[in-house]
Amino acid sequence: PNEPPMVFHWLPVIGSTITYGMDPFAFFFANHKKYGNVFTFILLGRKMTVCLDTTGNNFILNGKIKDVNAEEIYSPLCTPVFGKDVVYDCPNSKLMEQKKFVKFGLTQEALRSYVTLITHECEDFFKRHKTFKGQQGTFDVPKVMAELTIYTASRSLQGEEIRNSFDSKFAELYHDLDMGFSPINFMLSWAPLPHNRARDNARETMIKLYSEIVRKRRSGVAKKDSHDMIWHLMDCKYKDGVPVPEHEIAGIMIALLMAGQHSSSSTSAWILLRLAQNPHIVEELLAEQKSALGHHLPPVSYEDLQKLPLHAQVVKETLRLHAPIHSIMRKVKQPLVVDGTNYVVPPSHTLMSSPGFSAQLDNHFVNPAHWDPHRWDAGQNNYDEERDEADEEKIDYGWGVVSKGTKSPYLPFGAGRHRCIGEQFAYLQLQTIVVAFVREFKIRNVGGSKDIIGTDYSSLFSRPLAPAVVEWERRQK
Ligand code: HEM
């Protein structure tokens, strides 16, 4: 049969592992030029078929479960981190129910309370953190934002007990568990290496910790006075009437912690690095807050966030150029004809989609490499995804109604049955952090340069190369 073209390589098993691994987007652009939207390359001995641009995004992300499968790819890496019976260690129908539990737990009331909690956490952090002593200085953005992200997410979504234990044992556990996502684990997640032993210990300890919290709460020691996700999951029941067991509550909470932490901390770091490159936007953001909320800058509420479109556009534009997930993978289950081609992909292949690639194409975006939050201003001639969405046939996965196909080149949160359910929370968290940050600080690149740092693709989630140091100065109030 007519298989997609194979990317040229010298070494059999290594194939294109090195060039892809160093910079996946440069690799995609180079081969897109040579072979077009569909080609196969060798990644650690596996045949990966990449399908680019909007047709490729749609083909892979909206694939049927009988054709493409996510858990076979993700489970070896994720199950030792999340534990049994959740996410990729269960049938897809069960994952859909678990996504529904989480999505339904993010009620308006919950989101409203999170804005207040996140704001408090930011204010505390900017006042007390050793990085921000005095009136001005420099800071390593990715390092500091990783810390702030975990505090804000745990105070809101994870709940008070988890937030409080972060100051002691939890940080270390989190670190050990996170080592489970080292890239080497793509091949060796089962191996009895020291980092995998530490991961397994950390997972068991963490499952115990969450289970204890659930039991304590159930015994009536703690009264339900917050909207965190643990309280919500304690009330959830599967379709067959069975409540979510403790170890599954724990597994879902760990999955949320991991999913949210890497993507949001990378994104918040990129936001600040882009703002440091463009200090005039920081002043525009502050001006937007003053004109929408009042010159005295009252505490921001969930409803206020809707009145700050430039803040949302800063997040949106940063996700266009710096999507933390550069490659999305699925196992092929039966021979598939790639949409829009006559290539056939056999079941021995893995499919790879990269919505971050279509977001950088000049047939969709004017001057695509340029970071400009104003490209999303009303009336700008950008790609009109909402118009397209409205035209499309819908499908209900239980956790939400999404388009059956997707024509948008801009999909930082994915599409189809595996689409992100954390988008609302991520936007809320990122916007609230930006609101608090620009109220307190000015930032700029060291010496006022206009450079932007490169991307580190060595982990599963891309992030700014560390260290990435910028200058801060506290505003006079
Ligand atoms: C799935 C991106 C934040 C929870 C996904 C996917 C993407 C994504 C691209 C699809 C993966 C695939 O198809 O294989 C992002 C970005 C975020 C973010 C860019 C922040 C800027 C969050 C947060 C949470 C979360 C904060 C939790 C509160 C999930 C879950 C899935 C998911 C549960 C579903 C996985 C599946 O169905 O297989 N996310 N995410 N994400 N994300 Fe996020």
Detail the DSSP E strand segments found in 382-426. Answer: 394-396, 401-403
Confidence of residue 9 (pLDDT cuts 50, 70, 90): very high
pLDDT (average), residues 57-61? 97
- Tens-digit pLDDT profile for residues 243-252: 999 999 999 9
- Tens-digit pLDDT profile for residues 361-372: 999 999 999 999
DSSP state of 324: S
Res. 98: pLDDT tops 70 = yes
Q: Is the CB of 260 under 6 A from ligand 1?
A: yes
Interface ipTM: 0.99
Domain assignment of residue 243, yes or no: yes
Pocket residue to mutate for ligand 1, from 157, 258, 420, most atoms within 8 A of Cβ: 420
Res. 385: pLDDT tops 90 = no
Q: How far is the CA of 426 from the centre of ligand 1 (A)?
A: 9
Judge whether 176 and 202 are in contact, CB under 8 Å: yes
Query: Could you tell me which of 455, 461, 463 has the C-alpha nearest to residue 327?
Result: 461
Q: Supply the CATH number for residue 309's domain.
A: 1.10.630.10
Domain assignment of residue 168, yes or no: yes
From the number of C-beta atoms within 10 Å of its C-beta (0-12, 13-18, 19+), residue 434 rates as buried
Query: What is d(CA 256, CA 111) in angstroms, rounded to the nearest whole number?
Result: 16
Domain assignment of residue 300, yes or no: yes
Query: What is d(CA 235, CA 326) in angstroms, rounded to the nearest whole number?
Result: 35
Judge whether 250 and 257 are in contact, CB under 8 Å: no
Rounded to 5 degrees, φ, ψ at 456 are -95, 110
Q: Is the pTM of this model over 0.80?
A: yes
Res. 382: pLDDT tops 90 = no
* Beta bridge pairs of residue 139: 470
Q: What is the pLDDT of residue 292?
A: 98
**Residue 303 lies in domain:** 83-323+359-474
Q: What is the pLDDT of residue 405?
A: 84
Q: What is the pLDDT of residue 381?
A: 66
Domain assignment of residue 442, yes or no: yes
Domain assignment of residue 166, yes or no: yes
Q: What is the pLDDT of residue 349?
A: 97
Cα dihedral: 227, 230, 232, 233 (round 10): 170
> By alpha-carbon position, which residue is closest to atom 7 of ligand 1?
413
Domain assignment of residue 254, yes or no: yes
- Tens-digit pLDDT profile for residues 137-149: 999 999 999 999 9
Query: What is d(CA 50, CA 34) in angstroms, rounded to the nearest whole number?
Result: 13
Q: What is the pLDDT of residue 386?
A: 64
- Tens-digit pLDDT profile for residues 207-230: 999 999 999 999 987 778 889 999
> By alpha-carbon position, which residue is closest to atom 32 of ligand 1?
420
Q: How far is the CA of 100 from the centre of ligand 1 (A)?
A: 14
> By alpha-carbon position, which residue is closest to atom 31 of ligand 1?
420
Strands 328-332 and 68-69: antiparallel
Q: Which positions ≥6 away from 49 have C-beta within 8 Å?
A: 4, 38, 39, 40, 332, 338, 345, 349, 350, 351, 352
pLDDT above 70 coverage of the chain, percent? 98
Res. 171: pLDDT tops 90 = no
3-state secondary structure of 401: strand
3-state secondary structure of 159: coil
pLDDT (average), residues 360-387? 86
Q: What is the pLDDT of residue 159?
A: 92
Domain assignment of residue 429, yes or no: yes
Indicate the number of domains in the chain.
1
> By alpha-carbon position, which residue is closest to atom 6 of ligand 1?
420
pLDDT (average), residues 425-450? 97
Pocket residue to mutate for ligand 1, from 102, 263, 353, most atoms within 8 A of Cβ: 263
Q: What is the pLDDT of residue 226?
A: 87
pLDDT (average), residues 263-291? 98
Domain assignment of residue 444, yes or no: yes
Judge whether 272 and 443 are in contact, CB under 8 Å: yes
pLDDT (average), residues 63-83? 96
pLDDT (average), residues 91-118? 96
Judge whether 3 and 39 are in contact, CB under 8 Å: no
Res. 169: pLDDT tops 80 = no
For tokens 């953005």, the residue is: 141
Judge whether 13 and 43 are in contact, CB under 8 Å: no
